[in-house]
Amino acid sequence: MHPTLADDLSRLPEILQSARDVAAREVAGIGERPVAVAGPAPDAARLPEHGAGADAALASFTERWAPGFSGSAGPRYLGFVTGGATPASVAGDWLTSALDQNVSGAGGSWAQELERETVAWLRELFGLGEEHSGAFVTGATASNTVGLAIGREWLGERLGVDVFRAGAAALGPVDVLSGSPHSSVTKAMSVLGIGRDRLRPVPLLPGNREAVDVAALEAALAEREGRPAIVVANAGTVNTVDFDDLRAIAALKERYAFWLHVDAAFGGFAALSPDLAGLVDGLDAADSVCVDLHKWLNVPYDAAVQFTRRRDLQVKVFHNASPYLGLPDGEPDFLHLTPENSRRLRALPAWFSLVAYGRAGHREIVERNVALARRLGAGIEALPGLRLLAPVRLNVVCFTLAEDPSPERVAALARAVEASGEAYVTPTVYGEVPGLRAAFSNWRTTGADTERVLAALAKASG
Ligand SMILES: *Cc1c(COP(=O)(O)O)cnc(C)c1O
């Protein structure tokens, strides 16, 4: 063994302790450090010929790189839909790395069963029935891709083609109908050989809505004269967190042939609150469902879950047949369900958080975030320099300058907020008007944080 490795092996507990100390220091200060970091990153260093050992690596990281990391795990980073990492989930994530299980299959470990237990808990959390099975993937983009891949195989079943053998071209053109899909849906269409241009946008409800007009969807399906399609329903759009009427869309399946995929990346968390659960009523009727976990479950990146009612088709698409792995029968190993073969135990952080805080603890995060978004929305409405672009429907506040919201002026506002170090919001365009989004999804955010964000916005727009 290389002497530096041998030395690190002899000091492994101390090295883990040192990393813990750095993490504790960084996380303890996260509420007060600048929320976003400006300025150039250090110049790239050369590949080390001779290693310096883990302690020196830690010292180099804390000196060169850590000062340039954002406070995105903290309470006032409201860009994208970022979430954070609960204490228990961080502990679970560390152990995922430390114990380094390969959850492609059983492999002489109980880890795969732990993932199955976690998926079953999540299914219940999001109000899905036992006909849905699922697996962990890296994020909602991967989850949408898996869902659409199963949908593509379903189209083959309808048309008498094994897409997994013959390829996507054997299907001919595939149409994906959707109202306000996330950009990851067209990315998935590109990856899957469906093609980005095959998105068939369906009109939205009138009156400042991002939800699909179900009557227009029905008309589009009727026009197809029996040719099957994929419908992507959206449960939580990124700008205004609008929800398609899932129940009504699912009811159309009685008359029209389509695969119903629901992108509930963060909107699925409405199911945790009795007051909000109506927004995802009908989710269980979907053929495939995407929920992100590194957003509103507040587990570290990278974790999402995909569910489907057609695991048989999923195995057709993703089975990893090789002489020594064999073909799946019975309960398939995870390597037969998602794009990955070897996979880390990304269920463990979610398992930890669910054991630590339960349904009630996670419900509290969701409900508090929604209340804080409403509070910020009301505060913005009262500011002379800003106006809301849409009502605050759930956890995102979409707003812009009251006067002349040109792209340049809105970008300058975003930069001013970022430079204050007090908050981070991300630009968007809604209804052709440039604006900003403040998305609440972090477990640490309080009312006091929200007042600080409002003050920063008032200053930057005043
Ligand atoms: C964030 C998001 C995605 C993509 O999620 P990643 O985890 O970044 O891959 C997809 N759909 C919706 C609605 C989202 O909000």
What's the CA gap between 405 and 386, in Å, rounded? Answer: 9
Look at ligand 1, atom 3, and give the residue with the nearest C-alpha. 140
Model confidence over 322-365: pLDDT tens digits?
655 555 667 899 999 999 999 999 999 999 999 999 999 999 99
147 lines ligand 1 (CB under 6 A): no
Residue 38 has pLDDT above 90, yes or no: no
| 278's tokens | 């109506």
118 lines ligand 1 (CB under 6 A): no
Handedness of CA 311, 235, 180, 221 (dihedral sign): positive
Which pLDDT score is estimated for 330? 77
Q: What percent of the chain has pLDDT over 70?
A: 98
Domain covering 102-344 assigned CATH 3.40.640.10 in the classification = yes
What's the CA gap between 80 and 32, in Å, rounded? Answer: 20
What's the CA gap between 168 and 2, in Å, rounded? Answer: 49
Give residue 56 CA to ligand 1 midpoint distance, Å: 37
Look at ligand 1, atom 12, and give the residue with the nearest C-alpha. 265
How many CB atoms within 10 Å of residue 120?
A: 15
| Domain 35-42+54-86+358-462: CATH class, spelled out | alpha beta
Give residue 142 CA to ligand 1 midpoint distance, Å: 9
366 lines ligand 1 (CB under 6 A): no
Mean pLDDT of 452-457: 98
Q: Which amino acid is at 374?
A: R
Give residue 424 CA to ligand 1 midpoint distance, Å: 18
Residue 253 has pLDDT above 70, yes or no: yes
88 lines ligand 1 (CB under 6 A): no
266 lines ligand 1 (CB under 6 A): yes
242 lines ligand 1 (CB under 6 A): no
The domain limits of the chain are 35-42+54-86+358-462, 102-344
Mean pLDDT of 124-136: 98
What does the H/E/C string look like for the chain? Answer: CCHHHHHHHHCHHHHHHHHHHHHHHHHHCCCCCCCCCCCCCCCCCCCCCCCCCHHHHHHHHHHHHHHHCCCCCCCCECCCCCCCCCHHHHHHHHHHHHHCCCCCCCCCCCHHHHHHHHHHHHHHHCCCCCCCEEEEECCHHHHHHHHHHHHHHHHHHHHCCCHHHHCHHHHCCCCEEECCCCHHHHHHHHHCCCCHHHEEECCECCCCCCCECHHHHHHHHHCCCCCCEEEEEEECCCCCCCECCHHHHHHHHHCCCEEEEEECCCHHHHHHCCCCHHHHCCHHHCCEEEEECCCCCCCCCCCEEEEECCHHHHHHHHCCCCCCCCCCCCCCCHHHCCCCCCCCCCHHHHHHHHHHHHHHHHHHHHHHHHHHHHHHHHHHHHCCCEEECCCCCCCEEEEEECCCCCHHHHHHHHHHHHHHCCCECEEEEECCEEEEEEECCCCCCCHHHHHHHHHHHHHHHC
How many CB atoms within 10 Å of residue 160?
A: 7
- What integer best gives the mean pLDDT of the chain? 96
Q: To 10 degrees, the CA torsion angle through 140, 145, 147, 150?
A: -160
Q: 0.85 exceeded by the pTM?
A: yes
Counting ligand 1 atoms within 8 A of each CB, the residue from 82, 148, 180, 182 with the most, and so the one to mutate, is: 182
139 lines ligand 1 (CB under 6 A): yes
Look at ligand 1, atom 14, and give the residue with the nearest C-alpha. 265
Does 314 or 331 have the greater pLDDT score? 314
Atom nearest to 143 CA in ligand 1: 9
What's the CA gap between 367 and 369, in Å, rounded? Answer: 5
Cα→Cα distances 436→21, 36, 79, 160, 428, Å: 36, 16, 9, 47, 5
Adjacent-strand bridge partners of 138: none
292 lines ligand 1 (CB under 6 A): yes
305 lines ligand 1 (CB under 6 A): no
**Residue found by looking up tokens 């849409």 in the block:** 390
CB 171 within 8 A of CB 152: yes
Phi-psi category of 172—alpha, beta or left, where left has phi over 0 and alpha has psi -120 to 50?
left
Q: Identify the top-confidence range among 33-42, 314-323, 354-363.
A: 354-363
For the chain, what is the radius of gyration of the CA atoms?
23
Strands 396-401 and 288-292 come out as unpaired
Model confidence over 159-200: pLDDT tens digits?
999 999 999 999 999 999 999 999 999 999 999 999 999 999
CA angle, 221 then 225 then 229, to 5°: 50
Which pLDDT score is estimated for 321? 78
Question: Could you tell me which of 213, 168, 242, 186 has the C-alpha nearest to residue 393?
Answer: 242
Mean pLDDT of 106-135: 97
Mean pLDDT of 395-417: 97
140 lines ligand 1 (CB under 6 A): yes
Which pLDDT score is estimated for 462? 87
168 lines ligand 1 (CB under 6 A): no
Which pLDDT score is estimated for 328? 60
Which pLDDT score is estimated for 32? 87
Which pLDDT score is estimated for 329? 66
Mean pLDDT of 213-237: 98
